[in-house]
Amino acid sequence: VFHALELGQQSAQILATSVSEKTGQYCQPDVGRTDLERTKLGVVTYPNYYGETFDVAHVVEQFHQFNIPVLVDEAHGAPF
């Protein structure tokens, strides 16, 4: 994703995320606390790199409320 941004000469805004009580790793992005005015695309990694899941449908819904398309990177979903 970051390489694609570089190739397209675009920038990214990294969202604040909640931290898992179980592993202490970053988990669900907090879309509600973010200014999405200039956002063109939401990108979410699901599950996270440690196989933890969150309510991805809710996160996608939050982006869609602002008519922002979402790409869900599920490359780490192999354990499922």
**pLDDT of 32:** 82
Render each residue's pLDDT in the chain as its tens digit; 80 residues.
Answer: 889 899 999 999 888 888 888 888 888 898 887 888 889 999 998 988 788 889 999 999 999 999 999 999 988 766 66
The closest alpha carbon to 43, from 31, 52, 55, belongs to: 31
Q: Tell me the C-alpha distance between 53 and 27, whole Å.
A: 7
pTM: 0.81
CB 20 within 8 A of CB 27: yes
3-class secondary structure, 25:
coil
- CB-based burial, 38-60: b 16+ in 10 Å, e otherwise: ebeebbbbbbbeeebebebeebb
